Amino acid sequence: MVHTRSLRSLCFVICVVLCLGIACSASAYNTIYYGSVDDNVLRMQRALQALGYLGASERDGVFGRKTLVAVCWFQADMNMDVDGIPGDETLTKLYTLYDKAISTSLDTDVSEFQRLSFGSKGLLVKYLQSKLGQLGYYSSFVDGFYGVKTKQAVIAYQEASHLFVDGVVNKDTWVSLFGTLDPPLP
């Protein structure tokens, strides 16, 4: 009887340890708290900046008010709970998009139209930003990165042009802007 109780207790402890190990390994990133000052904040700021949520001068390794606002904008754009707390879910999504943006490059082959959306980058995005700027919808840097300001400009253009409003440049939006699917000549 004592042996069975000990065996059950041991099995219970092993199960608890295994469950805790799985739960801990499922969380890839530690939550970053307001006021933190470290390399984790700097990494998060670098990703927020690359995606258009934070200015270059605001990347200082300090989780302050501007970084908090950037996190909230990111969470809202990703249809997440907007709490300003970059926990595992927020950071996983942020770093996934950042990695995709860094590794994605668009070519200008027009045999198949290249859809442009948040996180896209390259020459076609530069053309898009320039054209939106000429039309008065975009007033930021022509940097070839489809961030928040580019998305807002596309939405404003789509609304004014009575196109489907989603902030994504599909064939219809591109043809409306340029009159053709061909990329403009520099």
CA distance 7 to 162: 71
Q: What pLDDT, on a 0 to 100 scale, did the predictor assign at position 55? A: 72
Q: What is the pLDDT of residues 82-100, one digit of tens each?
A: 999 999 999 999 998 887 7
The overall pTM is greater than 0.75: no
Taking 90 as the threshold, does the pLDDT of residue 112 lie above it?
no
pLDDT of residue 106: 44
Confidence of residue 144 (pLDDT cuts 50, 70, 90): confident
Contacts of 113 (CB under 8 A, 6+ apart): 170, 171, 174, 181
Tell me the domains of the chain and their CATH numbers.
39-103 (1.10.101), 123-178 (1.10.101.10)
Residue 146 in tokens? 């489809």
A 10 A CB-CB count for 98 gives 19
CB 121 within 8 A of CB 105: yes
List all residues 6 or more positions away from 72 whose beta carbon is below 8 Å from its beta carbon. Answer: 82, 83, 84
* pLDDT for 121: 79
Which pLDDT does position 14 carry in this prediction?
A: 59
Give the per-residue pLDDT at 89.
94
Question: Average pLDDT for residues 5-17, to the nearest whole number?
Answer: 55
50 and 44 Cβ atoms separated by less than 8 Å:
no
User: Model confidence over 30-50: pLDDT tens digits?
Assistant: 999 999 988 888 889 888 887
CA 154 to chain centre: 17
Please write the tens of the pLDDT for every residue from 117-142: 888 877 888 899 999 999 999 999 89
Residue 20: predicted pLDDT: 47
